[in-house]
Structure 1
Amino acid sequence: MPRGEQAQAARWAGTAMASSGLLAFTGAIGSAEPHAHAAVQVLLVLDGEVMLTDRHGHQRRTEAAIIPAGVRHELRAAPGAHGLLAYLDPAHPAARAAGARIATAGDADIVSTWQVAARPLATAAVTGPATLSGVLCSIGPTADTRGIPAVLSRALEAVPQLIDGPLLLGELAARVGVSASRLGHLFAEHLQLPFPAWRRWARLLHAIEAVRGGATLTEAAHGAGFADSSHLTRVCHEMFGLAPSHLVHLVRPAA
């Protein structure tokens, strides 16, 4: 790992957990290079200073933020910064509620919008302990009472059976009895992401889970459908601004 990346990664220290559609971290916050993850990110700073920069170069000191999926941003934390970060699959109920907040707060590309959307999180942190469940609940119920269409839900449920292969949109669509174009439209409409971007996120979560179970990076990469560990590393950098060797260290089960 390059020296600059080692210094950057060294600040991250805490506990993390991964489950279906969710990756969450609590502890000392480090910095992350410009990146765009295929997840809705919820950030709550409990102590210290964290600066967020959007793709337009606007920079704001941040106590709480909800960052939409697919939006490029950079995170810089001063020494001593602590907080909670949750990365939510766009299909997660809390992610859909977060998306509704962002939609009413303003331009989704702008850091000030992310802060406005997250005001309930900052209030919750002041009035009570900052737990993951409490933070997610404070986002509120999703405004879309229709939920995820049944055909899209079935497609998402089928992904784990196919993720170690090409995971082609047409293959997944055939499984659930719709055309590839229709299923691609459902991903874009309801998850706010094109299918290829969501697929990279699903593969990355699967790889992280595999490493937590004892697999090497190479084994995890192949099991999640990446060409090799280098491919996994590139995607991890794109989505988190960090190398997988550091990210998976945080989410390994405690010895």
Structure 2
Amino acid sequence: MWQGTVALQPGRLIYAGQLGVAHRHRHAAVQLVLAIAEPVRLRDESGTEWQGRAAVIPPGAEHELAGGSAGLMAWIDADGLFGQALTARVRRTRLPVDSVAAWAAAARPLLDDILDGNLDHIPSACQVLGKLADAGPPNETPLHPALRRAVAVLPAMLDHTVHLGQLAAAAGISASRLGHLFADELGLPFRAYVRWARLRRAIDHARHGGTLTDAAHAAGFADSAHLTRVCHEMFGLAPSLLARAVDWHEPVP
């Protein structure tokens, strides 16, 4: 049973708590699995089963998970710098990237952190993610003023198609420059950032009592089926689970 805390940030969704069962699926994000109390079981597309404490699953790889342990689950946007770094770790194993052997080998350097860390605590989980991606400490440099304006304006545009040029005009900068700022300072391409902003808006709406249909429309999805499909594609989980079955960690401004 999934029971824990979720944080949804640009480019990543982090879950800390009791790991549940995820039936055979594949998704667009890079997935990280870290178990604390006891090993979890993973099975790849070939049917090969592995039992262990840590795995990095690349985008598009079919898999299933048997839960039962406490730990961390994270989904990282594959197009962002973080996701690319995680996928590169899997490739550097020189094992077939769709195999559980490669996923386990890619995550092996984190085993000491799993044993010593407090992965049922969201801030600690974020630190572990940074180590795995070779990202070091979070970048504390203030965002470019135009990017800060764009990020502030974007939520008001989510009920319609968001065009980079339109957002750039509102931020007082050229579209090409704004696109580079998204990639360089936020680590995500513009379209990926918008997708994660829509998911956050929809899940926020649903967890505060709105229906999935209302949540989908509020975030610019065509309907609840569209929202559900995107959630499954990104996380392998239903939006109803993310909205109501777990608690949410809200970052301090």
CA contact (8 A) 1:48 1:82 kept: no
**What secondary structure is seen at the aligned counterpart in 1 of 2:206?**
helix
Tell me which moved more, 225-234 or 150-159. 150-159
Q: Does 1:201 align with 2:191?
A: no
| Deviation string, structure 1 residues 112-134 (Cα, Å, up to 9, x no partner) | 66545534532122124333322
Structure 1: which amino acid aligns with 2:235? Answer: F
In the TM superposition, residue 207 of structure 1 has moved relative to its aligned partner by: 0.9
Deviation at 1:209, TM superposition (A): 1.3
- SS of the residue corresponding to residue 122 of structure 1 reads helix
| Structure 1 match to 2:65 | 77
Tell whether the 8 Å contact from 2:39 to 2:53 is kept in structure 1 after alignment.
no
Match of 1:15 in 2: 4
Q: Once the 2 structures are TM-superposed, how far is the Cα of residue 59 of structure 1 from its aligned partner?
A: 6.1
Identity %: 39
TM-score, structure 2 as length reference = 0.71
On the 8 A contact 1:66/1:114 being kept in 2, the answer is yes
Say whether 1:230 aligns with 2:230.
no
Rounded to whole Å, the distance in 2 between the matches of 1:60 and 1:190 is: 39
TM-score using structure 1 length:
0.70
Deviations 1:8-63 (A, max 9, x none): xxxx42123335445332213211511113xx643212323332648xx6967352
User: What residue is the counterpart of 1:240 in the other structure?
Assistant: 235
CA 1:76–1:67: 2 relative to 1, 3 Å: closer
| Map of 2:251 onto structure 1 | none
Task: Quote how far apart the aligned CAs of 1:182 are.
Answer: 3.7
Is contact 2:203–2:215 with CA below 8 Å preserved after alignment?
A: yes
With over 3 angstroms needed to count, the CA separation of the structure-2 counterparts of 1:226 and 1:128, relative to structure 1, is closer
Report the residue type matching 1:248 in the other structure. Answer: A
Q: Matched residues in 2 for 1:180 and 1:198: separation?
A: 15
Report whether the alignment pairs 1:35 with 2:13. Answer: no
Give the partner amino acid of 2:73: L
Query: Which residue type is aligned with residue 16 of structure 1?
Result: T
* Alpha-carbon distance between aligned partners in 2 of 1:66 and 1:28, rounded to the nearest angstrom: 15
How many residue pairs match? The answer is 233
Structure 1 stretch 211-220 or stretch 177-186: which is displaced more?
Answer: 177-186
Q: Distance in 2 between matches of 1:186 and 1:44?
A: 32
Unpaired runs of 5+ residues, structure 1, are: 1-11
Residue number in structure 1 paired with 2:164 = 169
Asked if structure 2 preserves the Cα contact closer than 8 Å seen for 1:51 and 1:76, the reply is: yes
**Distance between the aligned counterparts of 2:56 and 2:151, measured in 1?**
24
1:79-118 matched pairs, under 5 angstroms: 80-87=68-75, 100=85, 103=88, 106-107=91-92, 110=97, 115-116=104-105, 118=107
CA distance in 2, matches of 1:149, 1:113: 36
Gaps in structure 2 of 5+ consecutive residues? 249-253
**1:51 and 2:42 aligned:** yes
